Amino acid sequence: MDKILINQMAFYGYHGLFPEENKLGQRFYVDVQLMLNLKKSSKSDDMNDSINYGDVYELVKGIMEGKPKNLIEAVAEDIAKDLFHEFNLLKACTVKVTKPDPPIPGHYQSVAVEITRERAE
């Protein structure tokens, strides 16, 4: 399956279990893989035969900077659900939501959730 990859989209949001996360907010990064057939768009050179990256960014931004969720698992699921709703050409997607600075003790680069969903036929 062909893929469109949009990596490391950066946002500031208020998702998290802890009150300080909802009040102070934090950085998030989102990666999406959009699985679809790109053969037609590669021949036609027409955006109507593909998915507009800018539209994907705005959709993700609305969720990431919108109403807070407790879990990034729920945030990732909302992104996947809205991608399918918005883009009829989309066959499957992988969504990764990363918190680089979660308020938990220890030494690590980040925490992340990654989900893969397919369009229900």
Would you name the residues annotated as active-site residues?
Answer: 99
Token couple for 61: 């931004």
- Alpha-carbon gap, residue 9 to 60, rounded angstroms: 9
Distances in Å between the Cα of 79 and the Cα atoms of 50, 55, 56, 66, 103 are 19, 13, 10, 12, 23
Q: Which residue has the tokens 């399918």?
A: 84
- State the DSSP code for 85: H
| Gap between the Cα atoms of 27 and 110, Å rounded | 11
Work out the number of other CB atoms within 10 angstroms of the CB of residue 79: 24
